Structure 1
Amino acid sequence: MTLFAHLATGTTTTCRAWAVTRGDGVTLGFTDHDRDLTFDGITFRADTGLSAQAIEQSTGLSVDNTEAIGTLTDTAITEADIIAGRYDRAEVRFWIVNWADTSERALRFRGSIGEMRRNGPEFRAELRGLAEALNQPQGRVFQRSCAASLGDAACRVDLNTPAFRHETSAYAVKRNRVFWTDPLPQAERWFEKGRLTVLSGAATGLSGLIKANRIDGARHLIELWQPLGADVAAGDLIRLEAGCDKRMATCQAKFDNLLNFRGFPDIPGEDWLVSTPRRAGSNDGGSLR
């Protein structure tokens, strides 16, 4: 029997279940039933205090929205994980399930977590449908600097090579934003505009963009634009990835990747648009100024 056939009987045993898959691969299951449910290899727990409001769905390309409400617990969703950003853009799936036979179910919503708000022990998470991706800017931008992201399909630089990635231990940490490491084989500023990822400790899986990379005495200093959301201790393992300032010269000299440069370094500037021909002198196709 399908779920729709079960609903047609008039006497139903249905509940709601949803799964949250974080960026670090951790999947959590929740249900508003009074007992745990299991399907698709996920255990949906009944004692988490999580519930969802009505889903707003429509035809066309408008974004489906809903909201999940719950309480912070040490065994499920914790305040520390929310502050650390582990639930940012996490994937969410929502089913209507026959709890007497979990094979009878229907997927009603699929999307991601948007804004999360906390009020004491309670939290509210905005859930955004798949059409949210259509709100992102599309198309190519014509500009002097490269429009690709380092290492993506357009750039094609392999960041797994030792020259562009280095793993080391944090010698010292200040406010989860400034890191000191032992001397690195790469030159000063090599990792500026790159990424730092924590590989061990309480902040495992968290990453941040690198603002500065310089030599500080006998050690290298790595400074992030923003502090990480969890504590990083001295001795924790970190991974550094090289950065790119999007200039053609950097693409050629640092990455030997000029053929994949996605910028237009010779595009005329805005002053060219307001330039006018001269009455005197020769007009040989050169500069108008």
Structure 2
Amino acid sequence: MVRTVVAGIDGSSESRAAAEWAAREAKLRGLPLTLVHVWQPVPEPMTQAPLLGAETQQHWSERIPRETAEGLRLRHRGVEITQRQLTGRPSDVLADAAKDAELLVLGSRALSGLGGFLVGSVGLSVVAHTDVPVILVRAGEQAADEHVMDPAGIPSAAAPYRPVVLGVDVERPDDSVLAFAFEEAARRDTALHVVHAWTLAPYYVYSLPAAPEIGVELGRQEAAALADLLRPWRTKYPNVEVVEISRTGTAADRVLDAAREASLVVVGRRIRRNPFGTHIGPVTHAVLHHSTAPVAVVAHD
């Protein structure tokens, strides 16, 4: 079976940004792109309304994927693009459509005035119940182009890509998450910024005023642990520039700090087979809601 990049679309600006990102990713990977539009039939009483009749509903449900595909073909020549029209519960249909995909790309919506982004119930459910990597993309300049801005503040395809950021737990690393991040950086010929956050135990905090060297030594140990983790990956990907970032603080805050200048942020999600709940973890949840850059969630055991 031919692998593909799948993008969920619904006609919103967020889904259009996700489709654009997915087309660029498909080109980088040399894979076809499949656009999936999911719609839920209008209840029978509503179909009798003049503006919500069956013909109007069918017209718009067919128009969205057709026009999205036509626009992408013009802007991303060489990428094979197909569209699928499916009916059902969006989260279930999208998760099923992505089973044999390389990755699934969805849109997320800005939270006006709150400095964050809304990953709705559909997006969270898909992330929690899909084993393939899921990328959440918001509408906006940073998602629209992953390249470094020129002196005039305009992104250029001729400019290098912004770095890929990876949040990692040195005590429980997973090879699939690390491999995904290194591969994405290699495809973009850009640097990989690996972020490791650590906190001081309370008894160390109370000791710091009298013995500040304790904090220095602990910081050295944490940085050494990160370096040890990444050493074999540096050997495997010698052309990827790796920047190691080991700092005190919460993991979500440190990843979000690095994400401000990133083209892509990569975080992990431990697979839990319990069907209830979202199961994405507090760090991944925070990054999904507040990162300005696209976020890739990689499921792992």
Which bracket does the TM-score occupy, shorter chain normalised?
Answer: under 0.3
Structure with greater strand share of residues: 1
Q: Report the TM-score, using the length of structure 1 for normalisation.
A: 0.25
